[in-house]
Amino acid sequence: MGFHLGIDVSTQSVKCIVIDTENGTVPAESSVNFGRDLPSYHAPDGFRPNADPRIKQADPRMWLDGLELALEQLSASGFDLARIDGISGSGQQHGSVYCREEFSPLRPGRSLAEQIGPRLSRPVAPIWMDRSTATECRELDAAFGDRLQRDTGSPAIERFTGPQIRKFAREEPKAWRRTRRVHLVSSFLCSVLCGSDAPIDFGDGAGMNLLNLQTLQWDPAIVEFTAPDLMAKLPPAVPSATVAGGLDGWFRRFGLRPGIPVVVWSGDNPNSLVGTGAATPGLAGISLGTSDTFFAPMRVFKTDPQGCGHVFGNPAGGFMSLICFTNGSLAREAIRRELAVNWEFFDRDALEQSSTGNGGRLMLPYFEPESTPPVPRPGVRRNYTQATPAEEIRAILESQALSLRLHSSWQGERFRRIRLTGGASKSTGFRQILADVFQAQIETIQVTNSAGLGAAFRAANAVEQISFERLSDRFCRPQEITHPDPANAELYQEMLKQFRDFEAAAQQA
Protein backbone atom coordinates (compact mmCIF):
# COMPACT_ATOMS: atom_id res chain seq x y z
CA MET A 1 0.00 0.00 0.00
CA GLY A 2 1.34 3.41 -0.86
CA PHE A 3 0.81 6.84 -2.42
CA HIS A 4 -0.19 7.44 -6.03
CA LEU A 5 -0.51 10.62 -8.03
CA GLY A 6 -3.23 11.30 -10.62
CA ILE A 7 -2.82 14.30 -12.94
CA ASP A 8 -5.84 15.56 -14.86
CA VAL A 9 -5.24 17.85 -17.83
CA SER A 10 -8.70 18.95 -18.88
CA THR A 11 -10.08 21.70 -21.12
CA GLN A 12 -9.71 24.45 -18.54
CA SER A 13 -7.26 23.25 -15.91
CA VAL A 14 -4.54 20.94 -14.59
CA LYS A 15 -5.37 19.22 -11.32
CA CYS A 16 -3.23 16.91 -9.20
CA ILE A 17 -4.53 14.47 -6.60
CA VAL A 18 -2.52 12.17 -4.33
CA ILE A 19 -4.20 9.11 -2.84
CA ASP A 20 -3.08 7.12 0.19
CA THR A 21 -4.25 3.58 -0.56
CA GLU A 22 -3.49 2.37 2.98
CA ASN A 23 -5.80 4.83 4.73
CA GLY A 24 -8.23 5.68 1.94
CA THR A 25 -7.42 9.40 2.14
CA VAL A 26 -6.40 12.22 -0.20
CA PRO A 27 -3.37 13.86 1.48
CA ALA A 28 -2.64 16.47 -1.21
CA GLU A 29 -4.27 18.22 -4.14
CA SER A 30 -3.53 21.19 -6.39
CA SER A 31 -5.23 22.98 -9.24
CA VAL A 32 -4.20 25.44 -11.96
CA ASN A 33 -6.73 27.21 -14.16
CA PHE A 34 -5.45 28.17 -17.62
CA GLY A 35 -7.53 31.35 -17.93
CA ARG A 36 -6.79 32.60 -14.43
CA ASP A 37 -3.23 31.39 -13.81
CA LEU A 38 -1.72 31.50 -17.30
CA PRO A 39 -3.26 34.63 -18.86
CA SER A 40 -0.35 35.11 -21.29
CA TYR A 41 -1.79 32.26 -23.44
CA HIS A 42 -4.96 34.31 -24.07
CA ALA A 43 -7.12 31.22 -23.70
CA PRO A 44 -9.63 32.11 -20.98
CA ASP A 45 -11.65 28.94 -21.62
CA GLY A 46 -8.72 26.68 -22.49
CA PHE A 47 -8.63 27.33 -26.24
CA ARG A 48 -7.56 30.24 -28.44
CA PRO A 49 -10.38 32.48 -29.67
CA ASN A 50 -10.90 32.02 -33.42
CA ALA A 51 -13.07 33.94 -35.89
CA ASP A 52 -14.39 30.59 -37.15
CA PRO A 53 -16.54 29.12 -34.34
CA ARG A 54 -15.85 25.59 -35.63
CA ILE A 55 -12.13 25.90 -34.91
CA LYS A 56 -11.01 25.18 -31.35
CA GLN A 57 -7.27 24.92 -30.79
CA ALA A 58 -4.96 25.14 -27.79
CA ASP A 59 -1.23 25.78 -27.41
CA PRO A 60 0.34 22.57 -26.02
CA ARG A 61 2.90 24.72 -24.15
CA MET A 62 0.03 26.00 -21.99
CA TRP A 63 -0.56 22.42 -20.80
CA LEU A 64 3.15 22.08 -20.04
CA ASP A 65 3.28 25.32 -18.04
CA GLY A 66 0.07 24.22 -16.28
CA LEU A 67 1.63 20.86 -15.40
CA GLU A 68 4.74 22.53 -14.02
CA LEU A 69 2.72 25.00 -11.95
CA ALA A 70 0.35 22.33 -10.60
CA LEU A 71 3.31 20.15 -9.50
CA GLU A 72 5.00 23.17 -7.94
CA GLN A 73 1.83 23.90 -5.94
CA LEU A 74 1.51 20.26 -4.95
CA SER A 75 5.05 20.16 -3.57
CA ALA A 76 4.48 23.49 -1.78
CA SER A 77 1.40 22.02 -0.06
CA GLY A 78 3.66 20.33 2.48
CA PHE A 79 3.19 16.73 1.32
CA ASP A 80 6.55 15.09 0.59
CA LEU A 81 6.32 14.01 -3.05
CA ALA A 82 9.23 11.58 -2.53
CA ARG A 83 6.66 9.26 -0.95
CA ILE A 84 4.83 8.78 -4.26
CA ASP A 85 5.11 5.27 -5.72
CA GLY A 86 3.33 5.63 -9.05
CA ILE A 87 1.83 8.21 -11.39
CA SER A 88 -0.78 8.21 -14.10
CA GLY A 89 -2.92 10.83 -15.75
CA SER A 90 -6.00 11.87 -17.62
CA GLY A 91 -6.26 14.02 -20.73
CA GLN A 92 -9.20 15.73 -22.41
CA GLN A 93 -10.03 13.26 -25.17
CA HIS A 94 -9.49 13.44 -28.96
CA GLY A 95 -7.06 16.43 -29.00
CA SER A 96 -3.87 15.78 -30.98
CA VAL A 97 -0.29 16.99 -30.62
CA TYR A 98 2.15 16.86 -33.55
CA CYS A 99 5.86 16.34 -32.77
CA ARG A 100 8.85 16.86 -35.06
CA GLU A 101 10.97 14.46 -33.08
CA GLU A 102 10.47 11.50 -30.87
CA PHE A 103 10.82 12.27 -27.18
CA SER A 104 14.26 12.25 -25.60
CA PRO A 105 15.34 12.79 -21.99
CA LEU A 106 14.60 16.30 -20.73
CA ARG A 107 17.28 18.93 -20.08
CA PRO A 108 17.32 19.95 -16.42
CA GLY A 109 18.06 23.67 -16.82
CA ARG A 110 15.04 24.56 -18.98
CA SER A 111 11.28 24.69 -18.51
CA LEU A 112 9.13 22.03 -20.18
CA ALA A 113 7.50 24.54 -22.53
CA GLU A 114 10.89 26.03 -23.52
CA GLN A 115 12.41 22.72 -24.52
CA ILE A 116 9.39 20.85 -25.90
CA GLY A 117 7.80 23.80 -27.75
CA PRO A 118 10.50 23.86 -30.50
CA ARG A 119 10.09 20.10 -31.01
CA LEU A 120 6.46 20.45 -32.15
CA SER A 121 5.72 20.36 -35.89
CA ARG A 122 2.43 22.20 -35.34
CA PRO A 123 2.25 25.04 -32.83
CA VAL A 124 -1.40 24.32 -31.98
CA ALA A 125 -3.41 21.25 -31.03
CA PRO A 126 -7.02 20.85 -32.17
CA ILE A 127 -9.12 19.93 -29.11
CA TRP A 128 -12.35 17.97 -28.62
CA MET A 129 -14.53 21.06 -29.19
CA ASP A 130 -13.28 21.47 -32.77
CA ARG A 131 -15.95 20.94 -35.45
CA SER A 132 -14.01 21.82 -38.60
CA THR A 133 -13.65 18.37 -40.19
CA ALA A 134 -17.03 17.77 -41.83
CA THR A 135 -15.37 17.12 -45.21
CA GLU A 136 -12.94 14.57 -43.79
CA CYS A 137 -15.78 12.80 -41.96
CA ARG A 138 -17.80 12.52 -45.16
CA GLU A 139 -14.76 11.04 -46.92
CA LEU A 140 -14.18 8.48 -44.19
CA ASP A 141 -17.85 7.50 -44.17
CA ALA A 142 -17.85 7.15 -47.96
CA ALA A 143 -14.73 4.97 -47.88
CA PHE A 144 -15.68 2.65 -45.03
CA GLY A 145 -19.45 2.95 -44.54
CA ASP A 146 -20.89 1.01 -41.58
CA ARG A 147 -17.59 -0.77 -40.97
CA LEU A 148 -16.14 2.38 -39.41
CA GLN A 149 -18.64 2.30 -36.55
CA ARG A 150 -18.72 -1.51 -36.30
CA ASP A 151 -14.94 -1.77 -35.93
CA THR A 152 -13.90 1.51 -34.29
CA GLY A 153 -16.99 1.95 -32.09
CA SER A 154 -18.05 5.27 -33.69
CA PRO A 155 -18.96 6.62 -37.12
CA ALA A 156 -16.70 9.44 -38.38
CA ILE A 157 -16.92 12.20 -35.76
CA GLU A 158 -15.65 15.73 -36.34
CA ARG A 159 -13.82 16.03 -33.01
CA PHE A 160 -12.22 12.58 -33.27
CA THR A 161 -8.52 12.46 -33.97
CA GLY A 162 -8.52 10.57 -37.32
CA PRO A 163 -10.52 13.23 -39.21
CA GLN A 164 -8.43 15.94 -37.51
CA ILE A 165 -5.18 14.29 -38.64
CA ARG A 166 -6.51 13.90 -42.19
CA LYS A 167 -7.36 17.62 -42.33
CA PHE A 168 -3.92 18.67 -41.05
CA ALA A 169 -2.04 16.34 -43.43
CA ARG A 170 -4.01 17.72 -46.36
CA GLU A 171 -3.87 21.41 -45.46
CA GLU A 172 -0.28 21.49 -44.27
CA PRO A 173 1.55 18.72 -46.16
CA LYS A 174 5.03 20.06 -45.37
CA ALA A 175 4.36 20.24 -41.64
CA TRP A 176 2.80 16.78 -41.85
CA ARG A 177 5.95 15.37 -43.49
CA ARG A 178 8.01 16.93 -40.69
CA THR A 179 5.80 15.20 -38.09
CA ARG A 180 7.45 12.10 -36.61
CA ARG A 181 4.86 11.38 -33.90
CA VAL A 182 1.17 12.13 -33.43
CA HIS A 183 0.12 12.02 -29.80
CA LEU A 184 -3.16 12.38 -27.99
CA VAL A 185 -3.19 14.93 -25.16
CA SER A 186 -2.93 11.95 -22.79
CA SER A 187 0.01 10.18 -24.48
CA PHE A 188 1.81 13.51 -25.07
CA LEU A 189 1.83 14.37 -21.37
CA CYS A 190 2.71 10.80 -20.42
CA SER A 191 5.69 11.07 -22.81
CA VAL A 192 6.73 14.30 -21.08
CA LEU A 193 6.77 12.55 -17.69
CA CYS A 194 8.79 9.64 -19.08
CA GLY A 195 11.11 11.74 -21.27
CA SER A 196 10.44 9.13 -23.99
CA ASP A 197 7.58 8.29 -26.35
CA ALA A 198 4.64 6.77 -24.49
CA PRO A 199 1.95 4.50 -25.95
CA ILE A 200 -1.77 5.30 -26.28
CA ASP A 201 -4.17 3.27 -24.12
CA PHE A 202 -7.29 1.50 -25.48
CA GLY A 203 -9.55 3.84 -23.48
CA ASP A 204 -8.43 7.05 -25.19
CA GLY A 205 -7.27 5.37 -28.43
CA ALA A 206 -10.87 4.36 -29.17
CA GLY A 207 -11.74 8.05 -29.56
CA MET A 208 -9.70 8.41 -32.74
CA ASN A 209 -11.69 6.53 -35.42
CA LEU A 210 -8.46 4.57 -35.99
CA LEU A 211 -8.41 1.74 -33.43
CA ASN A 212 -10.05 -1.53 -34.40
CA LEU A 213 -11.89 -2.65 -31.27
CA GLN A 214 -12.21 -6.23 -32.55
CA THR A 215 -8.42 -6.66 -32.83
CA LEU A 216 -7.32 -3.88 -30.43
CA GLN A 217 -4.74 -2.81 -33.04
CA TRP A 218 -4.61 0.26 -35.28
CA ASP A 219 -6.77 -0.61 -38.29
CA PRO A 220 -4.30 -0.74 -41.23
CA ALA A 221 -6.79 0.20 -43.98
CA ILE A 222 -8.36 3.09 -42.05
CA VAL A 223 -4.98 4.40 -40.92
CA GLU A 224 -3.62 4.25 -44.47
CA PHE A 225 -6.64 6.10 -45.83
CA THR A 226 -6.52 8.77 -43.11
CA ALA A 227 -3.08 10.23 -43.91
CA PRO A 228 0.17 9.26 -45.68
CA ASP A 229 2.63 7.33 -43.45
CA LEU A 230 0.34 7.68 -40.45
CA MET A 231 1.01 4.15 -39.17
CA ALA A 232 4.70 5.00 -38.63
CA LYS A 233 3.75 8.16 -36.75
CA LEU A 234 1.34 6.54 -34.27
CA PRO A 235 2.56 5.28 -30.90
CA PRO A 236 1.57 1.67 -30.11
CA ALA A 237 -1.90 1.04 -28.63
CA VAL A 238 -1.76 -0.83 -25.31
CA PRO A 239 -3.97 -1.91 -22.37
CA SER A 240 -4.62 0.81 -19.78
CA ALA A 241 -2.61 -0.97 -17.08
CA THR A 242 0.69 -0.74 -19.02
CA VAL A 243 3.69 0.93 -17.40
CA ALA A 244 4.91 3.44 -20.00
CA GLY A 245 8.30 4.05 -18.38
CA GLY A 246 10.10 5.57 -15.41
CA LEU A 247 9.75 9.21 -14.34
CA ASP A 248 12.34 11.45 -16.05
CA GLY A 249 14.99 12.99 -13.75
CA TRP A 250 13.75 16.48 -14.67
CA PHE A 251 10.87 16.05 -12.17
CA ARG A 252 13.31 15.68 -9.27
CA ARG A 253 12.85 19.45 -8.67
CA PHE A 254 9.43 18.78 -7.12
CA GLY A 255 10.80 16.12 -4.78
CA LEU A 256 9.50 13.25 -6.94
CA ARG A 257 11.78 10.20 -7.20
CA PRO A 258 13.17 9.70 -10.74
CA GLY A 259 12.39 6.28 -12.16
CA ILE A 260 9.10 5.65 -10.33
CA PRO A 261 6.61 3.93 -12.65
CA VAL A 262 4.53 6.13 -14.93
CA VAL A 263 1.42 4.24 -16.00
CA VAL A 264 0.07 5.00 -19.47
CA TRP A 265 -2.41 7.91 -19.36
CA SER A 266 -6.01 7.64 -20.53
CA GLY A 267 -8.87 9.95 -21.53
CA ASP A 268 -10.95 11.85 -18.98
CA ASN A 269 -14.05 9.72 -19.56
CA PRO A 270 -12.39 6.28 -19.14
CA ASN A 271 -10.65 7.68 -16.05
CA SER A 272 -13.92 9.04 -14.66
CA LEU A 273 -15.55 5.65 -15.14
CA VAL A 274 -13.10 4.06 -12.69
CA GLY A 275 -12.80 7.23 -10.58
CA THR A 276 -16.53 7.31 -9.80
CA GLY A 277 -16.49 3.62 -8.90
CA ALA A 278 -18.80 2.89 -11.82
CA ALA A 279 -16.51 0.49 -13.74
CA THR A 280 -18.47 -2.64 -12.82
CA PRO A 281 -21.66 -3.45 -14.80
CA GLY A 282 -24.93 -2.24 -13.31
CA LEU A 283 -23.79 1.28 -12.48
CA ALA A 284 -23.46 4.27 -14.77
CA GLY A 285 -21.85 7.70 -14.37
CA ILE A 286 -22.82 11.22 -15.36
CA SER A 287 -20.19 13.95 -15.34
CA LEU A 288 -21.51 17.50 -15.31
CA GLY A 289 -18.52 19.49 -16.54
CA THR A 290 -17.89 21.95 -19.39
CA SER A 291 -19.54 19.20 -21.43
CA ASP A 292 -21.94 16.72 -19.82
CA THR A 293 -21.15 13.08 -20.38
CA PHE A 294 -22.94 9.82 -19.68
CA PHE A 295 -20.80 6.70 -19.38
CA ALA A 296 -21.26 3.10 -18.35
CA PRO A 297 -19.39 -0.20 -18.52
CA MET A 298 -20.77 -2.42 -21.29
CA ARG A 299 -21.76 -6.03 -20.74
CA VAL A 300 -21.49 -6.68 -24.50
CA PHE A 301 -19.95 -4.70 -27.34
CA LYS A 302 -22.75 -2.71 -28.96
CA THR A 303 -22.88 0.46 -31.05
CA ASP A 304 -25.41 3.33 -31.10
CA PRO A 305 -27.75 3.07 -34.12
CA GLN A 306 -28.10 6.90 -34.00
CA GLY A 307 -24.31 7.29 -34.15
CA CYS A 308 -24.11 9.76 -31.22
CA GLY A 309 -22.84 7.32 -28.59
CA HIS A 310 -19.31 5.88 -28.64
CA VAL A 311 -17.55 2.74 -27.47
CA PHE A 312 -14.23 3.20 -25.66
CA GLY A 313 -11.96 0.78 -23.80
CA ASN A 314 -12.90 0.36 -20.13
CA PRO A 315 -9.69 0.65 -18.07
CA ALA A 316 -11.05 -2.09 -15.80
CA GLY A 317 -11.38 -4.44 -18.81
CA GLY A 318 -13.83 -4.76 -21.72
CA PHE A 319 -15.63 -1.72 -23.10
CA MET A 320 -17.56 1.32 -21.96
CA SER A 321 -20.11 3.57 -23.58
CA LEU A 322 -19.76 7.35 -23.75
CA ILE A 323 -22.21 9.98 -24.85
CA CYS A 324 -20.98 13.58 -24.89
CA PHE A 325 -23.19 16.66 -24.77
CA THR A 326 -21.08 19.71 -25.61
CA ASN A 327 -23.50 22.20 -24.08
CA GLY A 328 -23.26 21.15 -20.43
CA SER A 329 -22.11 23.67 -17.81
CA LEU A 330 -21.24 25.89 -20.72
CA ALA A 331 -24.98 26.29 -21.46
CA ARG A 332 -26.08 26.43 -17.80
CA GLU A 333 -23.59 29.23 -17.23
CA ALA A 334 -24.77 31.08 -20.36
CA ILE A 335 -28.42 30.96 -19.18
CA ARG A 336 -27.42 32.07 -15.69
CA ARG A 337 -25.54 35.02 -17.17
CA GLU A 338 -28.43 35.91 -19.51
CA LEU A 339 -30.83 35.99 -16.56
CA ALA A 340 -28.29 37.79 -14.35
CA VAL A 341 -28.95 35.53 -11.35
CA ASN A 342 -26.47 33.99 -8.92
CA TRP A 343 -25.79 30.25 -8.51
CA GLU A 344 -27.83 30.11 -5.33
CA PHE A 345 -30.91 31.18 -7.25
CA PHE A 346 -30.04 28.87 -10.15
CA ASP A 347 -29.49 25.78 -8.00
CA ARG A 348 -32.15 26.21 -5.35
CA ASP A 349 -34.68 29.04 -5.55
CA ALA A 350 -35.50 28.58 -9.25
CA LEU A 351 -36.54 24.98 -8.72
CA GLU A 352 -38.61 25.89 -5.67
CA GLN A 353 -40.37 28.62 -7.67
CA SER A 354 -41.32 26.34 -10.58
CA SER A 355 -43.06 22.99 -10.77
CA THR A 356 -42.07 19.53 -12.00
CA GLY A 357 -42.71 19.27 -15.75
CA ASN A 358 -42.72 23.09 -16.05
CA GLY A 359 -45.90 23.16 -18.15
CA GLY A 360 -44.11 21.17 -20.88
CA ARG A 361 -41.41 23.81 -21.48
CA LEU A 362 -38.44 22.40 -23.39
CA MET A 363 -35.18 24.00 -24.45
CA LEU A 364 -32.40 22.92 -26.82
CA PRO A 365 -29.51 24.96 -25.37
CA TYR A 366 -27.07 24.89 -28.26
CA PHE A 367 -24.86 27.83 -27.34
CA GLU A 368 -22.03 25.99 -29.13
CA PRO A 369 -22.35 23.46 -31.96
CA GLU A 370 -23.68 20.28 -30.31
CA SER A 371 -22.34 16.72 -30.53
CA THR A 372 -25.47 14.91 -29.30
CA PRO A 373 -27.47 15.17 -31.48
CA PRO A 374 -25.09 16.58 -34.10
CA VAL A 375 -25.96 20.26 -34.60
CA PRO A 376 -23.31 22.12 -36.63
CA ARG A 377 -24.51 25.68 -35.96
CA PRO A 378 -25.15 27.21 -32.55
CA GLY A 379 -28.65 28.49 -31.71
CA VAL A 380 -30.95 28.10 -28.69
CA ARG A 381 -34.42 26.74 -29.42
CA ARG A 382 -37.47 26.80 -27.13
CA ASN A 383 -40.95 25.31 -27.54
CA TYR A 384 -42.42 28.20 -25.51
CA THR A 385 -42.45 31.97 -25.70
CA GLN A 386 -43.00 32.99 -22.08
CA ALA A 387 -41.20 31.96 -18.95
CA THR A 388 -40.20 33.46 -15.64
CA PRO A 389 -36.46 33.23 -14.81
CA ALA A 390 -37.27 30.23 -12.57
CA GLU A 391 -39.13 28.47 -15.40
CA GLU A 392 -36.32 29.24 -17.84
CA ILE A 393 -33.84 27.56 -15.50
CA ARG A 394 -36.07 24.56 -14.94
CA ALA A 395 -36.51 24.29 -18.72
CA ILE A 396 -32.77 23.94 -19.35
CA LEU A 397 -32.21 21.48 -16.48
CA GLU A 398 -35.17 19.24 -17.31
CA SER A 399 -34.27 19.31 -21.00
CA GLN A 400 -30.63 18.40 -20.31
CA ALA A 401 -31.75 15.50 -18.10
CA LEU A 402 -34.22 14.29 -20.76
CA SER A 403 -31.50 14.49 -23.40
CA LEU A 404 -29.13 12.44 -21.22
CA ARG A 405 -31.85 9.79 -20.77
CA LEU A 406 -32.93 9.76 -24.43
CA HIS A 407 -29.44 9.44 -25.89
CA SER A 408 -28.20 6.80 -23.45
CA SER A 409 -31.12 4.42 -24.08
CA TRP A 410 -29.41 2.63 -27.00
CA GLN A 411 -27.49 0.47 -24.55
CA GLY A 412 -30.78 -1.24 -23.69
CA GLU A 413 -29.90 -1.30 -20.02
CA ARG A 414 -31.93 0.18 -17.18
CA PHE A 415 -29.52 1.82 -14.72
CA ARG A 416 -30.87 1.90 -11.16
CA ARG A 417 -27.83 3.63 -9.69
CA ILE A 418 -25.93 6.50 -11.29
CA ARG A 419 -22.78 8.10 -9.93
CA LEU A 420 -22.76 11.87 -10.42
CA THR A 421 -19.58 13.94 -10.66
CA GLY A 422 -18.35 17.32 -11.89
CA GLY A 423 -19.02 20.86 -10.68
CA ALA A 424 -22.82 20.89 -11.18
CA SER A 425 -23.24 17.66 -9.17
CA LYS A 426 -23.41 19.94 -6.11
CA SER A 427 -26.86 21.20 -7.16
CA THR A 428 -29.47 19.34 -5.10
CA GLY A 429 -32.26 20.49 -7.43
CA PHE A 430 -30.55 19.13 -10.55
CA ARG A 431 -29.84 15.86 -8.71
CA GLN A 432 -33.56 15.43 -8.01
CA ILE A 433 -34.48 16.14 -11.63
CA LEU A 434 -31.95 13.54 -12.81
CA ALA A 435 -33.22 10.98 -10.27
CA ASP A 436 -36.82 11.52 -11.41
CA VAL A 437 -36.10 11.55 -15.14
CA PHE A 438 -33.99 8.36 -14.96
CA GLN A 439 -36.05 6.88 -12.07
CA ALA A 440 -32.68 5.93 -10.64
CA GLN A 441 -30.81 6.54 -7.41
CA ILE A 442 -28.32 9.39 -7.93
CA GLU A 443 -25.16 9.09 -5.84
CA THR A 444 -22.39 11.62 -5.35
CA ILE A 445 -18.94 10.77 -4.03
CA GLN A 446 -16.64 12.93 -1.94
CA VAL A 447 -13.98 13.61 -4.58
CA THR A 448 -15.37 15.71 -7.43
CA ASN A 449 -12.29 15.38 -9.65
CA SER A 450 -13.20 11.85 -10.75
CA ALA A 451 -10.87 11.92 -13.77
CA GLY A 452 -7.81 12.65 -11.59
CA LEU A 453 -8.96 10.14 -8.98
CA GLY A 454 -9.44 7.52 -11.70
CA ALA A 455 -5.91 8.17 -12.95
CA ALA A 456 -4.52 7.70 -9.41
CA PHE A 457 -6.54 4.45 -9.15
CA ARG A 458 -5.05 3.21 -12.41
CA ALA A 459 -1.54 3.92 -11.09
CA ALA A 460 -2.32 2.02 -7.87
CA ASN A 461 -3.91 -0.82 -9.83
CA ALA A 462 -1.00 -1.22 -12.26
CA VAL A 463 1.83 -0.68 -9.76
CA GLU A 464 0.44 -2.41 -6.67
CA GLN A 465 -2.21 -4.66 -8.25
CA ILE A 466 -4.93 -3.21 -5.99
CA SER A 467 -8.28 -4.04 -7.58
CA PHE A 468 -10.62 -1.26 -8.75
CA GLU A 469 -13.37 -2.72 -6.51
CA ARG A 470 -11.15 -2.31 -3.49
CA LEU A 471 -10.11 1.23 -4.44
CA SER A 472 -13.71 2.17 -5.10
CA ASP A 473 -14.78 0.76 -1.70
CA ARG A 474 -12.15 2.97 -0.07
CA PHE A 475 -12.60 6.21 -1.99
CA CYS A 476 -15.99 6.22 -3.72
CA ARG A 477 -18.48 5.54 -0.96
CA PRO A 478 -21.71 7.38 -1.81
CA GLN A 479 -21.94 10.68 0.07
CA GLU A 480 -25.34 12.00 -0.83
CA ILE A 481 -28.05 9.75 -2.22
CA THR A 482 -31.02 11.23 -4.06
CA HIS A 483 -33.95 8.84 -4.45
CA PRO A 484 -36.33 9.05 -7.40
CA ASP A 485 -39.92 10.07 -6.76
CA PRO A 486 -42.06 7.40 -8.45
CA ALA A 487 -44.94 9.89 -8.63
CA ASN A 488 -43.00 11.78 -11.35
CA ALA A 489 -42.19 8.72 -13.49
CA GLU A 490 -45.17 8.98 -15.82
CA LEU A 491 -44.90 12.73 -16.34
CA TYR A 492 -41.25 12.47 -17.41
CA GLN A 493 -41.96 9.43 -19.58
CA GLU A 494 -44.46 11.56 -21.48
CA MET A 495 -42.05 14.51 -21.66
CA LEU A 496 -39.35 12.21 -23.00
CA LYS A 497 -41.49 11.56 -26.08
CA GLN A 498 -42.19 15.28 -26.49
CA PHE A 499 -38.50 16.05 -26.14
CA ARG A 500 -37.60 13.44 -28.78
CA ASP A 501 -40.11 14.94 -31.24
CA PHE A 502 -39.03 18.52 -30.53
CA GLU A 503 -35.37 17.64 -31.01
CA ALA A 504 -36.08 15.74 -34.24
CA ALA A 505 -38.13 18.64 -35.63
CA ALA A 506 -35.41 21.14 -34.71
CA GLN A 507 -32.81 19.05 -36.51
CA GLN A 508 -34.82 19.04 -39.69
CA ALA A 509 -35.53 22.78 -39.59
Q: How far is the CB of 47 from ligand XUL (least distance, A)?
A: 12
Q: Name the strand (E) or helix (H) holding 284.
A: strand 283-288
The β-bridge relationship of strands 57-58 and 243-246 is unpaired
Q: How far is the CB of 127 from ligand XUL (least distance, A)?
A: 8
**Using DSSP, how many helices (H) and how many strands (E) does the chain show?**
20, 24
One residue of 61, 159, 405, 419 binding ligand XUL per CB under 6 A: 159
Distance of CA 438 to the CA centre of its chain: 22
- Beta bridge mates, 236: none
Over 195-250, what HEC string results?
A: CCCCCEEHHHHHHHCCEECCCCEECHHHHHHHCCCHHHHCCCEECCCCEEEECCHH
Q: Please report whether residue 11 would count as binding ligand XUL according to CB under 6 A.
A: yes
Pick the closer one to ligand XUL by CB: 330 or 351. 330
Site string for ligand XUL, 308-347 (x = CB under 6 A): --------------x-x-----------------------
Pick the closer one to ligand XUL by CB: 291 or 403. 291
One residue of 73, 291, 450, 461 binding ligand XUL per CB under 6 A: 291
Q: Interacting stretch for ligand XUL, rule CB under 6 A, among 102-110, 130-138, 262-270, 491-499?
A: 262-270
Q: How far is the CB of 159 from ligand XUL (least distance, A)?
A: 6
Site string for ligand XUL, 213-252 (x = CB under 6 A): ----------------------------------------
Look at residue 291 and give its three-state secondary structure: coil
Nearest to 158 by CA among 118, 224, 209, 213: 209
Q: What angle do CA 334, 338, 344 make, to 5 degrees?
A: 80
Rounded Cα–Cα distance for residues 103 and 107 (Å): 12
Q: Please report whether residue 268 would count as binding ligand XUL according to CB under 6 A.
A: yes
Pick the closer one to ligand XUL by CB: 309 or 429. 309
Which residues contact residue 51 at a Cβ distance below 8 angstroms, ignoring those fewer than 6 apart? none
Within 91-120, the residues that bind ligand XUL by CB under 6 A are: 92-94
Residue count at the site for ligand XUL (CB under 6 A)?
A: 15
Residue at shortest CB range from ligand XUL: 93
Q: How far is the CB of 92 from ligand XUL (least distance, A)?
A: 4
One residue of 161, 209, 266, 293 binding ligand XUL per CB under 6 A: 293
Q: Output Rg (C-alpha) for the chain, integer angstroms.
A: 22
Pick the closer one to ligand XUL by CB: 207 or 277. 207
Look at residue 429 and give its three-state secondary structure: helix
Name the residues that contact ligand XUL, by CB under 6 A: 10-11, 92-94, 128, 159, 207, 267-269, 291, 293, 322, 324
